[in-house]
Amino acid sequence: MQNENIKPTEASAVSVATKAFLLEDANVVGAFTVTCTDADGNLRWEETFKNLVVNVGKTDLLNKYFAGTSYTAAWYLGLVDGNSTPTYNAADTMSSHAGWTENTGYSQATRPAAAFGAASAAGGGAGSAGTGTIATSATAFSINSVILPSGTIAGAFLVSNSTKGGTTGTLYSAGSFTTGNRTVLAGDTLNVTYTANC
């Protein structure tokens, strides 16, 4: 005699598929925009170029925001000299930046202050990252007779000290024109704007 047994069973299973993690990247980048006008206000040239945010600049940003160390919102713009081909290094500081030099051939007694407006952010949602931005108003450099009959500017930098040609303060970032060094004449005005994005 042969028996056949049927054992009915009931089972349920539930699975949820999720991403292992959500990544919100806070990569801070920036760019300078420089316009050059002549003594009559005519536009001679204009260029926007990216910068290198150096290590001390990144450390300063993180310490001020997250660790709550003392903070003064004082930033200044400077010009990179174009008598050579500048190079930038993440280890650059104001007291040690062997790849580039500052150009001080403008009439202002100090490095002009960088006046930042209000930050804004937009986009993102549902697990996707948005973008944030903050920018300075145009900061003027009045090119003077120090570099007659002409000189060259390679780029710009952002620093926390106003001393023209000084080697103290926190260097945040620096960068050069992508088209090469630019010629300036006495009487020209360079208007420099810095924009940071994350």
Q: What is the pLDDT of residues 113-133, one digit of tens each?
A: 999 999 898 876 666 667 788
Q: What's the number of domains the chain is made of? A: 1
Phi-psi domain of 104 (left: phi exceeds 0; alpha: psi -120 through 50; beta: other): alpha
Reported as a single tens digit per residue, the pLDDT across 72-113 is 679 999 999 998 899 999 999 999 999 999 999 999 999 999
Asked whether residue 191 is assigned to any structural domain, the reply reads: yes
Asked if 103 and 81 count as a contact pair (C-beta separation under 8 A), the reply is yes
Q: Which residues constitute the domain of residue 88? A: 29-119+131-197
Percentage of the chain lying above the pLDDT 90 cut: 62
Asked whether residue 3 is assigned to any structural domain, the reply reads: no
Asked whether residue 15 is assigned to any structural domain, the reply reads: no
The predicted structure's pLDDT at residue 9:
47
Report residue 157's pLDDT band, with 50, 70 and 90 as the boundaries: very high
Asked whether residue 104 is assigned to any structural domain, the reply reads: yes
Please state the rounded mean pLDDT for residues 163-171.
Answer: 96
DSSP per residue, 33-51:
EEEEE-TTS-EEEEEEEE-
Asked whether residue 12 is assigned to any structural domain, the reply reads: no
The predicted model scores a pTM of: 0.83
Of residues 32 and 60, more confidence is placed in 32
